[in-house]
Structure 1
Amino acid sequence: MNTPVRIIIHGASGRMGQALLRLAGERPEIQVVAAVSRKVAARVVDGVPQFASSELGGVPEFDAAIDFSLPEAFDAVLATCRSRRAALVSGTTGLSASQQEELHAAATEIPVLWSANFSLGVAVLSDLVERAAAALSGWDCDIVESHHVHKKDAPSGTALALGASAERGGAAPRYASLRAGDIVGEHLVQFASLGERIELVHRATNRDIFARGALHAASRLAGRAPGEYRLRDLLG
Structure 2
Amino acid sequence: MIRIAIMGAGRMGTLIRTTAESAVDAAGAPAFEVAAQVGFDLAAAETAPAADVLIDFSNVACLPAVVSYVRRCGCALVSGTTGYAPEQLDELRALGDIAPVVWSGNYSIGVAALRHLTAQATRELPGFDIEIVECHHNQKADAPSGTAKMLLEAVEEARADDALHPVYGRSGMCGARDAHEVGVHALRGGTVAGVHTVSFFGPDEEVSLTHRATSRQIFVNGALAAATKLVGKPAGFYTFDELMF
* TM-score of the two chains, using structure 2 as the length reference: 0.77
Residue 200 of structure 1 corresponds to 209
Displacement of 1:203 in angstroms is 0.4
Residue 28 of structure 2 corresponds to none
* Equivalent-residue separation in structure 1 for 2:22 and 2:90 (angstroms): 35
Match of 1:163 among 141, 152, 161: 152
Listed as ranges, the gaps of 5+ residues in structure 1 are: 40-51
Q: Report if the CA contact (8 A) 2:101-2:238 is conserved.
A: yes
Residue 114 of structure 1 corresponds to 103
Q: What is the identity, as a one-letter code, of the residue corresponding to 2:7?
A: H
Q: Report if the CA contact (8 A) 1:188-1:199 is conserved.
A: yes
Residue 232 of structure 1 corresponds to 241
Residue 5 of structure 2 corresponds to 8
Q: What is the identity, as a one-letter code, of the residue corresponding to 1:190?
A: S
Residue 33 of structure 2 corresponds to 32
Listed as ranges, the gaps of 5+ residues in structure 2 are: 26-30, 165-181
Match of 1:17 among 8, 13, 16: 13
* Equivalent-residue separation in structure 2 for 1:80 and 1:188 (angstroms): 36
Q: Report if the CA contact (8 A) 1:147-1:186 is conserved.
A: yes
Q: Report if the CA contact (8 A) 1:74-1:92 is conserved.
A: no
Is 1:79 paired with 2:68? yes
The change in CA–CA distance for 1:34 and 1:157 in structure 2 (over 3 A counts) is same
The change in CA–CA distance for 1:179 and 1:72 in structure 2 (over 3 A counts) is closer
Match of 2:135 among 139, 146, 162: 146
Displacement of 1:150 in angstroms is 4.8
1:174-216 deviation line (CA, Å, top 9, x unaligned): 2233345443221111223234332211001112222222111
1:122-165 deviation line (CA, Å, top 9, x unaligned): 12211221232233332221112223445464433321221111
Q: What is the identity, as a one-letter code, of the residue corresponding to 1:219?
A: T
* Equivalent-residue separation in structure 2 for 1:216 and 1:106 (angstroms): 21
Q: Give the length in aligned residue pairs.
A: 220
Q: Percent identity?
A: 41
- Secondary structure at the counterpart of residue 114 of structure 2: helix
Residue 184 of structure 2 corresponds to 175
Q: What is the identity, as a one-letter code, of the residue corresponding to 2:223?
A: A
1:73-92 deviation line (CA, Å, top 9, x unaligned): 32233233234332101123
| 14-23 or 220-229: bigger deviation | 220-229
* TM-score of the two chains, using structure 1 as the length reference: 0.79
1:95-122 deviation line (CA, Å, top 9, x unaligned): 4554322212111222212222222211
